[in-house]
Amino acid sequence: METANNLLEVRSLKKYFPIKKGVFSRTVGYVKAVDGVDITIREGETMGLVGESGCGKSTTGRTILRLIEPTDGEVIFKGKNVFKLNKHQMRHLRREMQIIFQDPYASLNPRMTVGDIIGEPLEIHRLAFGKKREERVLELLEVVGLRPQHIRRYPHEFSGGQRQRIGIARALAVNPKLIICDEPVSALDVSIQAQVINLMEELQEQFGLTYLFIAHDLSVVKHISDRVAVMYLGKVVELADKKELYDSPQHPYTQALLSAIPIPDPELKREKILLKGDVPSPINPPRGCRFHTRCRECKDICREEVPEFKDIGNGHYVACHMR
Amino acid sequence: METRPDLQKETTVTKTKNKKREGRSLWMDGWIRLKKNKLAMFGLYLVIIIVLAALFAPFITKYDPYTQLIWTEGRAAQLSPPSAKHWFGTDVYGRDIFTRVIYGARISLQIGIASVLISVLIGVPLGAIAGYYGGLVDDVISWLINVIFAFPFLLFVLAIVAYLPPSLIIMYVAIGVVNWASIARVVRGQVLSVKEKEYVEAANALGSSDFRVIFKHILPNVLAPVIVQATLRVGNVIMLEAALSFLGFGVQPPEPSWGYMINQGRQFLLAGKWWWSVFPGIAIMMLVLGFNLLGDGLRDALDPRLKQ
């Protein structure tokens, strides 16, 4: 991948969670939540990250921010290896990388006023205090479409969409470069989803933000992303420009996923690819290609060798022996 | 969630009332709910009345709790039944029992509140550290908690109090030192659940220090059950003090302790001179009942799970 204007490079990122059992908490195995993820995000773009529940999307996002310590791999942000930074440097870096959470009911401290929630990052990074802090908070409230009088209220006095706006304002407070959006609209009503998505697009333009947009809703991702990465069982199986990926998906898993998007036209018929069986356990993932147990095109080589994640032209990456 | 009719109704009502209203914190919400709970308010009033009586004791009664009226009023003042002059009667030394009950409230409240404060001061930090950091620290603290729980409470305090010379300070500390375990256990459990909340993760993502995360994000959300537990504990401790004093290991005479008064009056109960024991007994009951009703009410008012 070209390195010209890459803001974030994730290289063979791994996160294994130990499974402990017995009196002495012996480690009896690992949940391989993220098992070798490579993603590069260019400055100013929105990278969509999709996959079904439990495939490791959120863990990837959190590990990039070191909210969860990685098992292995590298994350290069603006040329710096994030995993090599000490506590102090890491704190400094958090000004540039922020996160928006899925559940707006859980991500705001119920005992703090909106002003304190949004103002907290300003205090932590010593950006503004007192009167200045309040001015900045009011400015941020306006940016995300909330009213100034909301500043003294508490999170439980707001609706889900409004709370998500508060979460966005908190992330914006430190003027970050990159925002990891961990399913930011999945918990909202469809009508509110559109509002929040539009707000996020406006903000991206206004502040030159880069997004890593994690979601399981393919149509939302199609709307907001420039490029899309598809994850399956802890690995990225396909990554391409949005148009390319949605028009000519290469990996059998992506094909199956896309065929599941409902078309709002009863006349139109499309072949649905039904996947057999369940997602295998990440504790003991299949040898070779992780998808081979459910793949229509599975050959002998798929059971033995892990497919390489290779460019098949135009920056369209796919991990499949058949391509 | 966007169009919950009950929520909408509430916001429109408050909006018309006051457009620029201040936000209502969860604490405020809790207080409003507590005010609606009649039993809890009854408990609160009981506690307030007894606290006021203890504070203003010299203004409520003209007698002194230590003065033996037999020297001035003769035999008539000895074990006289309740009357207009001595509302709760007098004891065998001719001391006014009403006065001694009121002054006794000072001792019961002091011990109740001081030793629970001590146990909160020990229990909250230890519980928070155990819950937040986990690992070996957690193992050690949890082990300590279990050891203290394994001891019979009364015997343990008895042992401490019997070994050291009896004094009020030692009582506070002895009870507090034993009592912290239940507070710590509550805090530890709460911290374990609160630290997994997304707002704690958000605080970490913003680069908060551990100190800030614990004190601004975790503890305020753990406080409600601690307040409930502490209130209920005050009632418990008052009972414990009474029991210790009854056994003679607590407050030493001539200090007016309810427990010791019951003990002294006990021998006259069968002779029909019931007032020496019964009035301090009622006082204990009222105060403990007050704290327990208040604690129960607080639990209902502050528990967010009952909110929705």
B196 close to A (CB below 8 A): no
CA distance B308 to chain A (A): 11
Rounded to an integer, what distance in angstroms lies between the CA atom of residue B269 and that of residue A233?
A: 78
What ipTM does the predicted assembly reach?
A: 0.85
Instruction: Give the pLDDT score at B171.
Output: 79
Name the residue facing B207 among A124, A152, A189 (closest C-beta).
A124
Domains of chain B: which residue ranges? Answer: 27-306
Instruction: Give the pLDDT score at A124.
Output: 92
Mean pLDDT score of chain A: 89
Name the residue facing A111 among B26, B198, B205 (closest C-beta).
B26
CA distance B202 to chain A (A): 7
pTM assigned to the model: 0.80
Q: Find, among A87, A81, A105, A85, the residue nearest to A156 by Cα.
A: A105
Q: Contact, A76 vs A82, CB < 8 A?
A: yes
Superfamily name and number for B27-306: MetI-like (1.10.3720.10)
Which residue does chain A place closest to B224, by CA atoms?
A: A111
Q: Which residues of A touch B1 (CB under 8 A)?
A: 159-160, 189
Rounded to an integer, what distance in angstroms lies between the CA atom of residue B308 and that of residue B305?
A: 7
Residues of chain B with pLDDT under 70: 1-22, 304-308
Q: Count CB pairs under 8 A between chains A and B.
A: 91
pLDDT single digits (tens) B42-100? 999 999 999 999 999 888 888 888 878 777 777 777 878 888 787 888 887 888 889 99
pLDDT tens, position by position, for chain A (323 residues)?
A: 444 588 999 999 999 999 888 777 788 889 999 998 999 999 999 999 998 888 889 999 999 999 999 999 999 998 889 999 998 999 999 999 999 998 888 899 988 999 999 999 999 998 888 899 999 999 999 999 999 999 999 998 899 999 999 999 999 999 999 999 999 998 888 889 999 999 999 999 999 999 999 998 888 899 999 999 999 999 999 999 999 999 999 999 999 888 888 777 778 777 777 787 788 888 888 888 989 888 888 888 888 888 988 898 888 999 988 87
> Using beta carbons and an 8 Å cutoff, which residues of A are at the interface with B?
62, 65, 67, 90-92, 94-95, 98-99, 101-103, 106-114, 120-121, 124-125, 149, 152-154, 156-157, 159-161, 167, 170, 174, 189, 191-192
Q: Find, among A16, A49, A31, the residue nearest to A280 by Cα.
A: A31
Contact A90 B2 (CB under 8 A): no
From residue B206, alpha-carbon distances to A9, A34, B122, B201 in Å are 21, 24, 30, 9
Name the residue facing B205 among A99, A114, A192 (closest C-beta).
A99
Instruction: Give the pLDDT score at B305.
Output: 55
CA distance B116 to chain A (A): 25
List of residues 6+ apart from B209 with CB closer than 8 A: none
Rounded to an integer, what distance in angstroms lies between the CA atom of residue A74 and that of residue A80?
A: 10
Contact A101 B202 (CB under 8 A): yes
